């Protein structure tokens, strides 16, 4: 059985332990995640997917009442997300699945739509904005990631077709976004006034302690392993190391690196942010940069990266460290 979100092939022993056919079906569909014990953890929906559902509900309700929204997630899976729409107003609450520490769980995301000749999308109260220039976003830009924006625009387009409209003007708001945003890491990365609307796959992963144990087990049992931190790292790790077991560890790097100590070949591969901060928590701030991304984009970024990798290699001589950029280019390698 293959996880359709990550492409991971579940060991047969895991599927044999799962006696709940409904839960197993959830894992097969991608809406659940099978663990080594046979238990299935539910994936939730990102702020991007929830926003897309709210926007769909708002637009479609210009023609008929809406009780749910069919959303094509960025990973290619069609999800029917609960949403309410009436008279051009829509809303949806973020479902976080079995991720226990999601600070945005249950947050209400709202949209208001009006008929128009073409599709337009804006953000309002509660959606964060960048207060300084970053390598990927301009000052003043809404904190809406490209995959999430595409997901939202696709949802609006789908709703226009369902409602028989040539277009619609949509405004997205998050009533409690300003308060919740202040509790997240947004202020540290230059985002203020609300939360971020993001989501690479459309799903929220259930990164709880149980899943951490599963990740550690997978790593410890592998002969050759690559530990990675996110979806981009996962994709390029599979391309760079096709003969290795690639494990998505998220922020659970300490446990993962410890487990990899028994492997014949162990690699950590991904974008620089989490990896460099794991080896040197103040890597950016000690050099006057708010984030690792901004540090690497600076004039001495690559030389600093090489310096940090040399230091990390001294501490973990058995671990190969490979850093890639968002286009999959290797920008640092300890081998």
Residues 189-213: tens digit of each pLDDT: 899 999 999 998 999 988 766 666 6
The helix or strand, by DSSP H or E, that contains position 264, with its residue range, turns out to be none
Backbone angles phi, psi at 141, to 5 degrees: -70, 145
**Is the four-CA dihedral 64, 117, 126, 147 of positive or negative sign?**
positive
- Give per-10-residue mean pLDDT for the chain (335 aa): 88 91 96 90 97 98 98 97 98 94 95 98 98 90 96 98 98 98 93 96 80 79 91 88 88 89 94 95 94 94 96 96 92 95
The pTM assigned to this predicted structure is: 0.81
Residue 324 in contact with residue 331, Cβ under 8 Å?
Answer: yes
Residue 147 in contact with residue 74, Cβ under 8 Å?
Answer: yes
**Is the four-CA dihedral 56, 110, 131, 120 of positive or negative sign?**
positive
Torsion over CA of 143, 158, 46 and 140, rounded to 10 degrees?
0
CATH architecture for residues 45-203: 2-Layer Sandwich (3.30)
pLDDT at 232: 87
Q: How does pLDDT run across 130-182, given as a tens digit for each residue?
A: 999 888 899 999 999 999 999 999 999 999 999 999 999 999 999 999 999 99
pLDDT at 252: 84
pLDDT at 260: 92
> How is domain 207-333 classified at the CATH fold level?
Rossmann fold (3.40.50)
Q: How many residues does the chain have?
A: 335
Residue 247 in contact with residue 219, Cβ under 8 Å?
Answer: yes
Q: Which has the closest alpha carbon to 86: 61, 110, 119, 104?
A: 61
Domain spans, the chain = 12-41, 45-203, 207-333
pLDDT at 211: 66
Query: How far is Cα 134 from Cα 233, in angstroms, rounded to an integer?
Result: 21
Query: How far is Cα 39 from Cα 69, in angstroms, rounded to an integer?
Result: 28
pLDDT at 243: 87
């Amino acid at each position: 059985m293959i996880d359709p979100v990550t492409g991971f092939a579940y060991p047969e022993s895991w599927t044999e332990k799962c006696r709940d056919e409904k839960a197993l079906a959830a894992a097969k569909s991608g809406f659940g995640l099978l663990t080594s014990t046979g238990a299935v953890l539910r994936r939730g929906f990102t702020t991007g997917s929830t926003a897309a559902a709210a926007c769909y509900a708002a637009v479609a309700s210009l023609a008929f009442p809406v009780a749910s929204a069919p959303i094509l997630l960025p990973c290619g899976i069609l999800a029917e997300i609960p949403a309410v729409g009436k008279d051009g107003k829509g809303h949806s609450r973020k479902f976080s699945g079995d991720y226990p520490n999601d600070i945005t769980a249950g947050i209400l995301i709202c949209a208001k739509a009006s008929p128009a000749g073409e599709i337009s999308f804006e953000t309002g109260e509660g959606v964060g904005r960048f207060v300084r220039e970053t390598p990927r976003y301009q000052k003043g830009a809404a904190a809406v990631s490209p995959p999430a924006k595409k997901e939202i625009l696709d949802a609006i387009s789908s709703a226009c077709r369902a409602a028989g409209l040539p277009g619609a003007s949509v405004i997205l708001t998050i009533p409690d976004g300003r308060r919740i945003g202040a509790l997240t890491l947004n202020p540290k990365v230059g985002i203020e006034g609300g939360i971020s609307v993001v989501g690479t796959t459309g799903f929220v992963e259930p990164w709880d302690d149980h899943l951490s144990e599963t990740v550690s087990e997978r790593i410890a049992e592998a002969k050759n392993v690559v530990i990675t931190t996110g979806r981009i790292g996962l994709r390029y790790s599979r391309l760079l190391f096709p003969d290795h077991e690639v494990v998505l560890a998220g922020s659970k790097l300490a446990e993962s690196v410890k487990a990899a100590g028994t492997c014949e070949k162990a690699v950590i591969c991904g974008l620089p942010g989490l990896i460099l901060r794991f080896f040197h928590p103040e890597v950016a701030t000690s050099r006057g940069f708010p984030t690792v991304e901004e540090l690497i984009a600076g004039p001495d970024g690559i030389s600093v990266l090489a310096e940090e990798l040399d230091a990390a290699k001294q501490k973990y001589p058995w671990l190969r460290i490979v850093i890639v950029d968002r286009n999959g280019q290797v920008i640092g390698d300890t081998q």
